[in-house]
Amino acid sequence: MTKEKKNAMLHCLEEHRPGKWKIRTKLFVVILIMLAVSILLFWGLWNLQESVCHVFENLHLISWFDEDTYIEQIKEDAVNYNVPELESDKTAQKAFRPFLKKHTSYYIGCYIYGHDDGLFRAGHAAKVIEKIMYGSIISDSMDILGEYTNIVPVQFANGTYDVVYSSFMRTRFVYPYVIASALFSIFIFFLGVLSYMGSVIKRMDGLKDAVVNMSQGDLTHAIPQCGEDEVGIVAKELDILRKTLDENIKQEDAIRQTNQELISAISHDLRTPLTVLNGYLEVLRMDNADEEKRALYLNKCLQKTADIKALTDHMFEYAFAYETNEEAVLKRMEIGQVKEILLGNCEFVELAGFTIEGQMEDIEGIMYADEMMLKRMSSNLFSNILKYADKGKPIYVRLRVEQGMLGILLINTIKQDVGTVESNHIGLRSSQKMVELHKGQMHVYHEKQQFRVHILLPVISISTPQS
């Protein structure tokens, strides 16, 4: 046998060993084993019934009939009856029948034989014999328990004859014993099966307790091993899930710490351009520099303010997009102020070389809004236009009433080299969140080279009809 075949055989045995059987397979095997044990137990008890019967008789827990009294009664009555000499003598048989009827019963039979010749004279069998059919439970039991028979010489009116009496009293022991043996065997069967099911349920209870602990945030305690069947597989996968969740939480804590350090670093980095900017402004305030230097210093100041704005925008947008406790301070506000905010951003974009088209209606009305948050939202959207829009194509801006709400629509064409510009969509996520805080809706559409942002904000009252 080659090493590969040997390894394959060992692997096959490992995969099919009993420990890895499914629960239903194990249950089926347990049922078969307990069924065999129960059958063997019943068979053993069946063969022990004679010994058990003797024990009960010796302990006087069961009694059959008083044999001595029975013999005395026979002898007392025998002197008054003549035993028929021939079995075919109907008259004599009829006259002797009361004697037989008195001394026979359901379980006792009585027979008369000649004392000298041993020939049968008369007799009456026990009625229970009619029910002891071949192959029946009583018949099989009597083969084990045995029939009690005795012969007594008795003096009758016409001579001495042998009286043979047979007792089948032990047949009364058969059914109770068989039923008790069967019930005990069934009890042993269910005891074995339920013991196995109890072990499965115990493992599942342990698994349930571990899951409850996980749901309460305890990820430090390992899930107990529960074998290699279905319960064991679930326990193993849950333990992997526990480890994964624990690692994810630790990673999130590390990321949160990193973010805090990033914000601290950006805040620290702001000091440098602020210091430089302050120095240039101090020089300009001295008013002793020539025009060329003043222009140079002004350009440097503008450059530093651009640097500061880029740092603060990055820090704010990053923090806001992932902040969950931000709330809008909603106050009564004229709808016309929204138009002013949009016009201010449009002018800034036009100074950057873009062309603005569209229509912004004069809408009179009241709305609840956070003015500063609307300014930030508008700044984010128009900053995206500055970064990603094609200057050669016009920017479409529209403000009107739509569906009883204030509708804002921005459309721009995406420039060809936008793929080289890094984007994390923090500005869009930040704007989306601010719109939702106003109970509004924001939809973003990106179709080929066209980019659209459609915003709907709720209002209290409007005087311009819907278009």
Q: Are 434 and 372 in contact (CB under 8 A)?
A: no
**331-462 CATH:** 3.30.565.10
Strand bridging mode 395-402 / 356-360: parallel
- The residue among 122 and 200 whose pLDDT is bigger is 122
Average pLDDT over residues 178-192: 91
Q: Which fold has domain 65-169?
A: Ribosomal protein S3 C-terminal domain (3.30.1140)
Question: What is the pTM for the complete model shown?
Answer: 0.46
DSSP structural state of residue 391: T
Of the candidate CATH numbers 3.40.50.10330, 1.10.260.40, 2.60.120.10, 1.10.287.130, the domain formed by 220-323 belongs to 1.10.287.130
Same fold, 65-169 and 331-462: no
| C-alpha–C-alpha distance, residues 336 and 362, integer Å | 7
State residue 378's pLDDT score.
Answer: 86
pLDDT at 200 over 80: yes
- Residue that has been written with the tokens 């349920």 in this structure: 201
CA nearest to 105, candidates 66, 52, 58, 134: 66
State residue 467's pLDDT score.
Answer: 44
State residue 409's pLDDT score.
Answer: 94
- The residue among 125 and 221 whose pLDDT is bigger is 125
Q: What is the pLDDT of residues 25-62, one digit of tens each?
A: 888 888 999 999 999 998 888 888 878 877 877 777 66
What is the residue extent of each domain of the chain? 3-53+177-205, 65-169, 220-323, 331-462
pLDDT at 17 over 60: no
Least confident range of 69-73, 284-288, 420-424: 420-424
- The residue among 366 and 9 whose pLDDT is bigger is 366
DSSP 160-207: EEEEEEEE-TTHHHHHHHHHHHHHHHHHHHHHHHHHHHHHHHHHHHHH
